[in-house]
Amino acid sequence: MNKIIKCQDLSYAYTNGKIHTKVLNGLNLEIDSAQSLAIVGQSGCGKSSLLNLLGGISQPISGKVFVNGYDLSQLNEEEITNLRAQHLGFVYQFHHLLKDFSALYNVAMPLLIRGENTQIALEKSSQILKDIGLQNRLNHRPAQLSGGQRQRVAVARALINNPNCLLADEPTGNLDTKNTQEVLGLMMELKQQKKSALILVTHDMNIAKKMDDFLTLKNGMLV
């Protein structure tokens, strides 16, 4: 199968002044297309740092990350940004919606930034919002939506570009049990429809066990 994400001997350290704290130590990982993987581990073990490295947001101190076959170390910042926009989607614990824009425009924003025709971008945004049951919330701003609705909008925004891989960092961490199940179900449903891979960071083993596989990040390695 096609390897959407591949890491080779990946190492990373936090830097605080002269203090360097290594959190990843020669880590290796491969993710196939359409595979779902949970990464669990104690707080501060480097789970979020790993996602940032996979998305080209941070740079490792050594090792390589490949996204859809592209070696991120060989790309400049603009090329990484374009690769990220084309192949990856991101969902975070906090929805990071633009407060002055409606749900419709928030979801369409990745397409608009990419330069897609405004009418086409809004039609795609409207369709995916209708698909997730928010057809009556198209023109609502984030402050007018519930926590669960905001996170569903964030998931729709992450998938509007049909990414090869969705990177999710504690995407249900701020939600109650009911909304957690709804958002998780939505992510899995849309992931399956779009045949995207999913890498999800979580502290909840009940969520981790719903993925195809789960790995524990411990002492800088995945086990």
Domain that holds residue 90: 3-222
Distance, in Å, from the CA atom of 112 to the CA atom of 99, rounded to the nearest integer, reads 17
Q: For the chain, what is the domain count?
A: 1
* Phi, psi (degrees; rounded to nearest 5) at 36: -115, 135
15 pLDDT exceeds 80?
no
69 pLDDT exceeds 80?
yes
* Average confidence (pLDDT) over 187-193: 79
Residue 142 belongs to a domain with what CATH number?
A: 3.40.50.300
Distances (CA, A) of 193 to 87, 96, 120, 162: 16, 24, 20, 10
144 pLDDT exceeds 90?
yes
Q: How confident is the model at residue 14 (pLDDT cuts 50, 70, 90)?
A: confident
Half-sphere exposure (Cβ direction) of 83: Cα atoms closer than 13 Å? 22
162 pLDDT exceeds 90?
no
In order, the DSSP letters of 45-93 are SSHHHHHHHHTTSS--SEEEEEETTEEGGGS-HHHHHHHHHHHEEEE-S
